[in-house]
Amino acid sequence: MTIVLMLIAAGIGAVLRFLLGQTISERTKGFPIPLGMAAVNLLGSFGLGMFTGLGLDNPSAGIIIATGFFGAFTTFSTFSIEAVQLMMNNRIKESLLYIAVSAAGSLLAFWCGLIIISI
């Protein structure tokens, strides 16, 4: 049953990632970095930090929510594609900014989510 619920959670996470990413991307056209996926990854990291901060002692919940939903909601592969595309288009500064915002921002967002839940 856990696997079925993880699949459902992953489906929901992937659809929300697509819809939110597309919506943000459409509204921020012309911005130097891909804000759609950056925002999704930051939000997902924050949410995962909050979930982790709950300290649930239920392995199934971790598989369903952390691996299923947040694993599908956030996307390292799309981030990688967009960072490399910026580099290949000789947009090195934008690529480095995108990498910094995505990597450091996701770590900071996770930490903030973890701290907020602990207050």
Binding site for Na(+), by residue number, is 71, 74
Classify the C-alpha dihedral 1-63-82-33 as positive or negative: positive
Annotated binding site: 71, 74
d(CA 22, CA 6): 24
DSSP states along 50-87: HHHHT----HHHIIIIIIIIIHHHS-HHHHHHHHHHHH
d(CA 89, CA 104): 23
